[in-house]
């Protein structure tokens, strides 16, 4: 077993947690492309893929690719975390 894995297992056992801590979330600054930032804002506003495609004049398959890249770059596991990231970064405000 790798020493780093052994260390994480020992640390998790001591703290009572069976899972290692999640990686720290990345910020929207990790999105170098303008279109990815636009997609993150759209996700933050609660738009679905069809709405994003219509409003940004893209195909739905392109939107799906952008959404996947955005989630990966900000370290979000799902759209909910992306919405939280958009709000925390000030890209979207509550109405």
Spell out the domain ranges in the chain.
Answer: 24-95
Structural domain 24-95, CATH architecture: Orthogonal Bundle (1.10)
Statement: residue 48 has pLDDT above 80: yes
Those residues with Cβ within 8 angstroms of residue 40's Cβ, 6 or more apart along the chain or in another chain: 28, 31, 70, 74, 82, 85, 86, 91
pTM, rounded to two decimals: 0.70
Residue 69, pLDDT score: 94
Residue 31, pLDDT score: 75
């Amino acid at each position: 077993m790798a020493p780093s894995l052994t260390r994480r297992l020992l640390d998790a056992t001591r703290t009572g947690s069976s899972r290692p801590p999640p990686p720290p979330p990345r910020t929207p600054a990790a999105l170098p492309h303008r279109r990815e930032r636009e997609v993150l804002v759209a996700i933050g506003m609660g738009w679905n893929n069809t709405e994003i495609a219509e409003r940004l004049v893209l195909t739905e398959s392109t939107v799906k690719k952008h959404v996947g890249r955005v989630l990966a770059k900000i370290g979000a596991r799902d759209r909910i975390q992306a919405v939280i990231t958009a709000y925390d970064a000030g890209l979207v405000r509550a109405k």
